[in-house]
Amino acid sequence: MASKNQDSKAVDVSQEIEGRIATKVKYLQELNYAIDQHHDRDVYRLLDNQRYAKEIEHREQQPNDEGVMSLVDDLADQLSSYLSVNLIKYLGKTYPFFYYEEYQTGHYRIYFGNWWDRRRFGELDVLNVRFSFDQTEYQMLNKSFELARKNKRYNSDRINKISSENDRLQELIDHRREREEKRQQIQAELKDINSRSGLFESSRNRATREELVTQLQKLEDQETEARTAAQTIKENEQVVLALSKENTILSYEQKSIIDTFGSFEDFELANRNLYANYLKSLSADQDAGKQVNADD
């Protein structure tokens, strides 16, 4: 009978709804408890079961139940802020050179170091336990490690180029008197030659004259450049200082990474394993009954 079928269908649907609601309630209850107890590892498991199963329990293909997980989508910023407390505490020990600024709830900027000048280095993705490095800045650091292997620094080539340009400009300034003497000498020669020019000027005379005019022009060009050279040197020195500063920042960063991780490769490896390593550190704390940030 149609109505009976419909009734049983309705029962199936209501059962399904009840089942689904029960799952959601159970999920929220579990999450609520984990939050209440500050069991951050459970919170992470509940927020991304698939990743947790794969990286912590080594069980592949454990799909996430999007239906329940999406329940707390609108709480992402608050959850991030909540979970950041223990995560940043952990990172303070494992990455002692990173500093974080919560510029809005649950969003964290990373600063590399606390030295005289430092770089903004991207953001900390708390919910995914992941650094989201600024790629331009990161590539600079990567490159500086490569160059260090060749005993070079990031801006060495540019600094050397500007420095030799400054040497050349200084030469121009230093040789002003010689240039003036040379100019007077050429002018005297020109005068002499001009007096012998005219309608029947010999080709040799003309060639010499043209050569002298070229030389004179070159001297005048140099003189023009020399007039602004002192200012250019000053400006170049400022550029060199800025480039040297960048070199210094990079060398501080390299030093920090080597002091903590031994090498850039080990730093990158640690970044890839950050989720697993962090959650394992939480497990150890929980197993020992000493959950980080517990109120005891």
Partner 1 sequence: MTNKIVNSPAARISSLADSFKDVLKCGQQYVELLDQLASTDQAEDLLTAASKLTEQDLHNAFIDFPQHYQAADYYMLFMGRLLEMHQVASVTVDENQQHEFVATIDPLTDARFKFVVGANGEAAFTEQSQQQPLFYMNLNQRLFQFNNRALVNYFIVYALKKHSDLELRDAIKSLIEFANELADDLGFTINLGILNTANDRRFKLQQPDLRLTMIDRLFVKTGETDYMLMNLPHNSGAELLLDQGIKFDLSFDPDDYSQEWAFSVKDPGEQVSFFDILLHYNLVRQWYLADRDALAVRSEQLIITDDESTSPVATTVPAAPTEPTEPFPAPADQVTEPASAVRDSEKTPTDNGDVVDTETDEDD
For partner 1, the binding residues (CB under 8 A) are 114-118, 238, 241, 244-245, 247-248, 251-252
Residue 94 C-beta: closest distance to partner 1, Å:
20
What residues contact 56, with CB distance under 8 A and at least 6 apart?
A: 45, 276, 279, 280, 283
Q: Choose between 49 and 155: whose C-beta lies nearer to partner 1.
A: 155
Residue 140 C-beta: closest distance to partner 1, Å:
15
Q: Choose between 236 and 244: whose C-beta lies nearer to partner 1.
A: 244
Residue 245 C-beta: closest distance to partner 1, Å:
5
Q: Choose between 241 and 269: whose C-beta lies nearer to partner 1.
A: 241
Residue 251 C-beta: closest distance to partner 1, Å:
5
What distance lies between CA 199 and its chain's CA centroid? 72
Q: SS3 string of 121-151?
A: EEEEECCCCEEEECHHHHHHHHHHHHHHHCC
Q: What is the CB-side half-sphere exposure of residue 97 using CA atoms within 13 A?
A: 20
Q: Choose between 51 and 119: whose C-beta lies nearer to partner 1.
A: 119
Q: Choose between 9 and 245: whose C-beta lies nearer to partner 1.
A: 245
Residue 179 C-beta: closest distance to partner 1, Å:
31
Per-residue burial over 116-142, b if 16 or more Cβ lie within 10 Å, else e, is eeebebbbbebbebebebbeebbebbe
